[in-house]
Amino acid sequence: VCVPGAKLVGSSVKRTILRPETDGTAMSGSAYKTWNFAVGIFAPDVTVSNLTIRSAFVGVYAWSASEVAGARATVAACNLRENVHGIVMQGNGPRNAYSHLQVRDNACYGISTVSGAAFDNLLVADNGGTGIYQHSNSQRPTSGVVNCTVVDNGGWGWYNGEGSPNTVRFINTIFGG
């Protein structure tokens, strides 16, 4: 079932799952079978935009955005609030992009992602845990954070995974409280 306002781009749309059953049977892997997520991305070159997502365990979830070379998952112009986690992107897939988002008032992480992501014009605030948690990824060692505000989260504003060799470039970005 499609979520209104979601834009899907790419040749593997059939493998993209939007608003799965709440028991998570559409997902493989026992750790995630009970996750309730509003939008799940399992195909390359998917863009999720212009949505307000509330009251899910995970607002937007992606597993690698498929490990197709050059593919990416993009989340743009969305408001993710009052979920347990705002966005969770996992695996060693290609570069993900986050643009013009409000990610706030989630119980745990605002955004949990692999390194090599591009962050542009985000407000990540008032989440119960870390604002942005970046996991190590040897395939994409450099992330760019531009024009973002990350404030008043319950944990770290930015956490760059333990022992991570990754580089982060912050430009015109505010961290606070």
81-99 pLDDT, tens digit each: 999 999 998 765 557 889 9
Closest among 75, 83, 64 to 99, alpha carbons compared: 75
- For 122-160, how does the pLDDT look when each residue is reduced to its tens digit (9 = 90+)? 999 999 999 999 887 666 567 889 999 999 999 999 998
Q: Is 30 exposed, middle or buried (0-12, 13-18, 19+ CB in 10 A)?
A: exposed
Per-residue model confidence (pLDDT) at position 70: 56
Compute the distance between CA of residue 146 and CA of residue 159 in angstroms, rounded to an integer. 16
3-state secondary structure at position 143: strand
Residues belonging to the chain: 177
Whole-number Cα distances in Å, 9 to 49, 115, 116: 11, 23, 21
Instruction: Measure the N-to-C terminal CA separation of the chain; round to a whole number of Å.
Output: 40
Could you tell me whether strands 46-49 and 7-8 are parallel, antiparallel, or unpaired per DSSP bridges? antiparallel
Per-residue model confidence (pLDDT) at position 38: 81
Give the mean model confidence (pLDDT) for residues 113-122.
87
User: In this structure, is the dihedral angle defined by the CA atoms of residues 156, 32, 87 and 127, taken in order, positive or negative?
Assistant: negative
- For 22-77, how does the pLDDT look when each residue is reduced to its tens digit (9 = 90+)? 333 333 343 444 467 888 777 767 788 888 888 888 988 877 544 555 567 789 98
Per-residue model confidence (pLDDT) at position 172: 97
pTM of structure: 0.79
Q: Does pLDDT of 4 surpass 80?
A: no
Give the mean model confidence (pLDDT) for residues 12-20.
33
Q: What angle do CA 96, 32, 63 make, to 5 degrees?
A: 20
Compute the distance between CA of residue 177 and CA of residue 166 in angstroms, rounded to an integer. 25
